[in-house]
Structures are given as structure tokens and as C-alpha cells.
Chain A
Amino acid sequence: MSARGLGPVRSTLGWLEERAGLGGAIAPALDHPVPRSTASWWYVFGSATLALFVLQVVTGICLALVYVPSAEGAYQSLLYLNFQAPFGWFLRAVHFWGSNAMVAVMTLHMIQVFLWGAHKYPRELTWIVGVFLFLCTLGMAFTGQILRWDQDAYWGLGIGASIASRAPGVGDALVSLLLGGPIIAGRTLSRFFAVHVFLVPGILIGMIGLHIWLVLRIGINEWPMPGRVVTRETYRQRYEEEVHKDGVSFFPYAARKDMVACGVVVLAVVLCAVLFGPFGPHGVPDPTLIDTAPKPDFYFLALYALFALLPPWTETVVILVGPVLAIGALFLVPFIAGTGEKSWKRRPVAVLGVLVIVLTVTTLAGLGVAVPWSPQMEAWTAAATPVRYVKGRTPLELQGALVLQNKQCRTCHSLGGGGGRRGPALDGIATRQTRDQLIRQVLQGGGNMPAYGKNLSPAEVNALVAFMGTLRP
């Protein structure tokens, strides 16, 4: 476009600027000098998280145009979005994959910031606000999962209420507060809708503003150099010197990489949406349909796994005290290690801590996907006795195989890879246990297995152990 053509645009902008003065207010923020070392690909996660938040707000508002926040109509409106509303499925998909991406990228941002020592003096408050943002985002993830008003949402609330009920003294009140009534029903959904759509997003927007204000006011964390120790007396002066000596203006020198990163994450979300589509809704949220095995979305799989693996007697304490300690620790990080070495190269404990936490959470989440502790409720009628264990067996042994199916042993025990993995696999059991050991284990239970003594006739026991006696590799 020629310079002549730009004339009217310029004069319009000038007219606006004279009255609103927005350019004058924003320009210093864009132009503010940052250390050259921070124009790095490692520094893009914060902006990428913000871009995803904007994406969530836009798609969320669109979904709210159609979604009905009533226990009676929510499920129908989700089906309408999936199958009838133009691009409804796409918006649902973007909102779902965007939420996953937001949790993921925000976690990366948090890890990067911690390893680069950005929580240290004078950025403690920025970190604390960031922890609030982290918690609010997880809150959005949980409440959003509830708005997908299907069986998983219904029973997920049941799990949430059961956890809340374990709080000593106030458990009962907490449950009623959470559900908005005596049971999981219409008022529960309305509550979660208001929290997901008004309350937490409002807090998030305010906190994001504060977070960015703090970053602008104190300056972006410089690239940490081993040996450059942070002290309260010298840090700010040294930072100012570095910025003056070797600084660049944020826009466009550092912003370029941020812009690319924002574009990449948004496109990645769109790609996921187009390829994998929206998530759910799964079964109808009818509490009388109990043939369901509720499972949380991936951000809470680690917690879900933890609940299965904890010894029962530690559970209440861990469930109630664990989160308080974990969140408290996050808030206290800048006060425990607010000064000193910033570079991860000189902070072995910090690096080790991050590694341990990341490995623990991913391992637990992996277990949460595989659910080895969950019984396979349909195995007894759906997981066939492997053909190699059927061929050449006597009539009594075949009846034993039927007892094994019929008494739901395979809910917890697998055979030929089919069935639950809660108990040991029964392949080759004949080489590990004698006939008498098998009989005792079946009748008396023990080791986390119920006793079947009252539920098996002598003939059934004979048939069962006759069959198990043939299970050799």
C-alpha cells in the first residue's frame, strides 16, 4: 500500500490517540528494554499460556451461547453441539484440547521459571501470583470436566464429595457446599457453571493482569549465569546495568519468538481438534446406570492413581494434608530460597526436586491410564478362556474353567492376558502353588483377596483346582 493510502488510517489513529491515549500507555510496555539473553526460545512458555487462555475465553464464550447449564438439559445441549450446531464439535474440541494444552504449557512455564531461578528476589510476588494462576487453571480443568455433564462428571463429583467428606469436623458441610444440596443434581451443575464461567475466569483475568504488571515493573528474569549470586543489596542495580549495557526493546526483538510460539501452540490445538475431535460426552448422566467405571481427565490421573495405591490407613491424612503441604511448599519456595545461586547448574537440589516430582507425577499418571488395580467388571462374561486352556481338558477341568469365569475370578485375575490385573495372573499358577495352597487361598482369601469359602460348593472347589492344576506354561 502506498504512503498516500495510509493517510486516512494514520489520521484516524491520530484522532483516537489524541482522545484515548492508549498508544502512549502501551508503547512503554512494548518498548521496555529487556536483557538480550532473554530473547530466547526458553522464555516463550508464559506468552504461549496466555495465548491459550485467550483461546479458551473465546471458545468458552461461544460454547456458552448454546450450552444449557441445567442437569436436565446439559447432556442434550452437548449432543446438539457435537452433531447439529455448525462447527459446534470443532469449538468443543478446541476448548478441550486447549485446556489440555494450557495445563501442559503452564506446567512447562512453571518448571522453566523455577529452574532459571526467576522466583528469587525481587520476583517472589510474581511467583506467588503464578502459583495462584496455576491453582485457578487446575480449578478450571476440574470444573470444566464437570460441565461435560456425563457419567464421568457425575461420578467424578461423587469422588470429589467423598474426598471432601474426609475433612475432620467440617466434612459434611463441605460436601453440601460443594454439591449445593443433599445429592449430586441440578443445583450442583449450576454451581460449577457459575464457578467455571464467572468466578474463576474473573479471578484469572485479574491475576494475569497482576502477573504481567509485575513482570513489566521488575523486569524479565535475566539468563542466569553460574556464580552470579543474587543478593538483596546488589541485584537490582546489577540488573539495571545489564539492561542498559546490553538490552533490547521487548518489541519486536524478544516478542518475535513469543509470537511464533503462540501461533504454534494455537495451531497445535487446532490440529488436535481436527484430528481427534471433541472429548465425550460419554454415557448419559443417569445415576441408576451403574455399569460405568468413571475416570478423570488426564490432569487428575496422577491423583486418581495415588488414591488406589496408598495404604488405606494413610489415605485420609494424605488426601487432606498432602495438597495443603504441596501448595504451601509452592508458595514458600521464594522464601526458602529467595537469594543465592540462580543457575540450575549450581542448584542440584532444585533440579533433583523437579525431576523427582515430574517422574512421580508422570509415573502415577501412566498407572492411571493403565489402571492395573481396577477390576475388569465384564471379564467374567467377555474375556474368553484361552483356547489352549480348553483343548484337551477333562469334563471336570472344563467345569473348573467355568467356575473360574462364573465366580468372577477374572475380574481381578488375568488368563492369557485377558481379565483384571489386580491379582496375579493365573497362567502357570500350577507351577507356583500346590493343590492345597490353591484350595486354602480360594476358601480363605487373604492378601487383598476376598474369601470364597461360603460361596463355593465342594464340587466347585474340586473343579476349580482341577482346572488350575492344568495351568502350566
Chain B
Amino acid sequence: MTPPSQSRRGFLFRLGIGLNVLGAALVGIPVVGYIFGPARRRTDGQSWIGLGPIGAFPAGETRLATYENPVRVPWDGATAKIACWVRHIKGERFQVFAVNCAHLGCPVRWFAQSRLFMCPCHGGAYYEDGSRASGPPPRGLFEYEYRVRDGALWVRGGQLPTLSRPV
């Protein structure tokens, strides 16, 4: 039979390990959840955003529009603002493109004269309907879902468009 002091020492040792494992788990699980929280896919990131009355977008032209991202924190400053290209085809037919190039996300610029979007980084070019014209982009421009309600243009957005999650 083990002397009582021996078994008490063994118990204390195991208790010490157990308590620390418990503590590590109680702190560690929330820490992991905290760090990796943003990585969980959230569907509420997408919402309808007003871009203003459609009168601001002359038919047949493509104009830069800006909006405040719906998901934001008060200290975002100017970075909460997002720009997008609005192409008014005619009537209530629009195309709204993200400014981010489909290649590596640089801001594409619209050139009304040649009717092309061009990217300053690696030279991607897109036609006015957003389809790829030349250069390294693997696809056309990212396009927002849109709708016209009471004479105003709305788009569905809220996330940085990338190849794995186009708008």
C-alpha cells in the first residue's frame, strides 16, 4: 500500500496539471475564436446599399460612384468608403462594377474615349461591359447585383470582391 503522503503528492501533481489544462482551454478556446472569428463566413455581410438617384448617372455613360460600406466600425475613417463604376446602359438597365481588378485587386480606371477599363498595376484591360479585353486578369470585372427602386439605384455589396468571393 502506498503511503498516504505519496498518494497525496501524486494527486496534487495530477490536480496541478488538470487545473492548468482546464485554464488553458477556458482561455484558449475563446482566444482561437477571437482570432479566427472574422474568417467565419457570414451572410449578413451583404446588404443593399443606395447609390443615389439614377439621374446622377447619364445614360450611355460610365461614372464613379461611392458609398459607405454597410459593415464598418467607427474608427474606419475614409477607408469605410468604397468606390464602384456605374454603367448606365439605358432606362433601368445598369451594370455596376467593383473598382478592384480581377487580377490582383488594383483600382481600374474608366476611359470614356476608348471605352475601356484599364488597371495601372499589371495592365489588365476590360471592355465597357466588364468583359476581359487583354492582360493578366483571369475573368471580367466583378459585377454587383443591382436594382432600381423609386428612381434610385441600389447595389448589393459589403465585401472586398476577390476571385473566391466575387462581390
| Direct chain A–B contact by Cβ atoms under 8 Å | yes
Is the pair A173, B104 in contact by a Cβ cutoff of 8 Å? no
Q: How large is the interface on B (under 10, 10 to 19, 20 to 34, 35 or more residues)?
A: 35 or more
B71 A182 Cβ-Cβ under 8 A: yes
Q: Assess whether B79 is in contact with A285, with CB atoms less than 8 Å apart.
A: yes
Q: Which residue of A lies closest to B71 (CB)?
A: A182
A186 to B80, CA, bound (A): 8
Query: Is there a chain A Cβ closer than 8 Å to B95's Cβ?
Result: no
B36 neighbours in A (Cβ, 8 Å): 177
Which B residues are CB-close (under 8 A) to A288? 64, 66, 78, 81-83
Q: A454 within 8 Å of B by Cβ? A: yes
In this assembly, does A110 line the interface, its C-beta being within 8 Å of a C-beta of chain B?
A: no
Q: Is A441 part of the binding interface, using a Cβ–Cβ cutoff of 8 Å?
A: no
* A→B interface (CB under 8 Å): 70-73, 154-155, 158-159, 161-167, 171-177, 179-187, 284-288, 290-294, 307-308, 310, 312, 315-316, 373-375, 377, 380, 406-409, 411-412, 420, 422, 445, 448-452, 454-455
Q: Which of these, B81, B100, B158, contacts A286 with CB under 8 Å? A: B81
Chain A residues in 8 Å Cβ range of B50:
none
B19 contacts partner chain A, Cβ-Cβ < 8 Å: no
In the complex, 11 of the A-B residue pairs with CB atoms within 8 angstroms, ordered by the A residue number, are A161-B160, A172-B162, A177-B39, A181-B73, A182-B69, A183-B159, A185-B73, A187-B73, A290-B64, A308-B123, A445-B134
Binds A, one of B9-17, B109-117, B143-151: B109-117
The residue in chain B whose Cβ has the minimal distance to the Cβ of A408 is B114
Supplied contacts A155-B105, A288-B82, A445-B134, 6 more A-B pairs, CB within 8 Å: A158-B160, A171-B163, A187-B73, A294-B121, A312-B136, A380-B111
Contacts of A159 in B (CB 8 A): 104-106, 121
Residue ID in chain B nearest A420 by CB atoms: B123
The answer for the CA separation of A162 and B119 in the assembled complex, in Å, is: 14
Residues of A within 8 A of B64 (CB): 288, 290
Closest approach, in angstroms, between the C-beta of A269 and any C-beta of chain B?
30
Given known A-B contacts A177-B39, A308-B123, A450-B125, A455 and B115 have beta carbons under 8 A apart: yes
Residues B120 and A377 in contact, CB atoms below 8 Å apart: yes
Count of A-B residue pairs with CB < 8 Å: 202
Q: Is the interface of A mostly helix, strand, loop or mixed?
A: loop
Which positions 45-75 of chain B face chain A at CB distance < 8 Å?
A: 45, 64, 66, 69, 71-73, 75
Q: Which residues of the other chain, B, contact A71 by a CB distance below 8 angstroms?
A: 75-79
- Minimum distance in angstroms from A188 CB to a CB of chain B: 8
Query: In whole angstroms, how far apart are the Cα atoms of A316 and B120 in the complex?
Result: 20
The answer to whether A450 and B134 touch across the interface, beta carbons within 8 angstroms, is yes
Whether B118 lies near A375 (C-beta < 8 A) is yes
Least CB distance, B19 to chain A, in whole angstroms: 26
**Residue B122 is within 8 A (CB to CB) of chain A in the complex:** yes
**Is the CB–CB distance between B120 and A292 below 8 Å?**
yes
Nearest CB in chain B to that of A291: its residue:
B109
Does B38 contact A181, Cβ atoms closer than 8 Å? yes
Lowest 5 A-B CB distances belong to which pairs?
A72-B77, A165-B162, A171-B164, A158-B105, A450-B133
Contact partners of A310 in chain B: CB under 8 A: 136
Specify which of B82, B99, B114 is in contact with A407 (CB 8 Å cutoff). Answer: B114
Contacts of A316 in B (CB 8 A): 138
The reply to whether A374 and B163 form a contact with Cβ atoms under 8 Å apart is no
Residues of chain A within 8 A of B105, CB atoms compared: 155, 158-159, 161-162
Give the complex CA separation of A161 and B78 in angstroms: 19
Q: Quick one: given A72-B76, A290-B99, are A172 and B164 in contact (CB under 8 Å)? A: yes
Residues of A near B45 (CB, < 8 A) are 182
The answer on a CB contact under 8 Å between B75 and A445 is: no
Give the CA-CA distance A293 to B139 in the complex, in Å: 21
Q: Among the listed B79, B109, B121, which residue makes an inter-chain contact with A287, where contact means beta carbons less than 8 Å apart? A: B79
Q: Quick one: closest B residue to A405, CB to CB?
A: B113
CB-defined contacts of B120 to chain A, threshold 8 Å: 292-294, 374-375, 377
Q: Give every chain B residue within 8 A of A374 (Cβ-Cβ).
A: 120-123
Closest to B158 in A: A182
Residues of A within 8 A of B163 (CB): 162, 165-166, 171
> Which A residues are in CB contact (< 8 Å) with B104?
158-159, 162-163, 307
The answer on a CB contact under 8 Å between B134 and A449 is yes
Decide yes or no whether B18 CB sits under 8 A from chain A: no
Whether B135 is near chain A, meaning CB under 8 Å from some CB there, is: yes
The CA-CA distance from A73 to B121 in the complex, in Å, is: 27
Docked pose: A316 CA to B113 CA in angstroms = 33
- Does B90 sit at the interface, judged by CB under 8 A? no
> Nearest CB to that of A167 among chain B residues?
B164
Residues from chain A with a CB closer than 8 A to the CB of B136 are: 307-308, 310, 312, 315
- Across the two chains, which residue of chain A brings its CB closest to B138? A312
Rounded to whole Å, the gap between the CB of B68 and the closest CB of chain A is 10
Instruction: State in angstroms the CA–CA spacing of A172 and B121 once bound together.
Output: 23
> When A159-B105, A162-B162, A294-B121 are in contact, do A406 and B113 touch as well, CB less than 8 Å?
yes
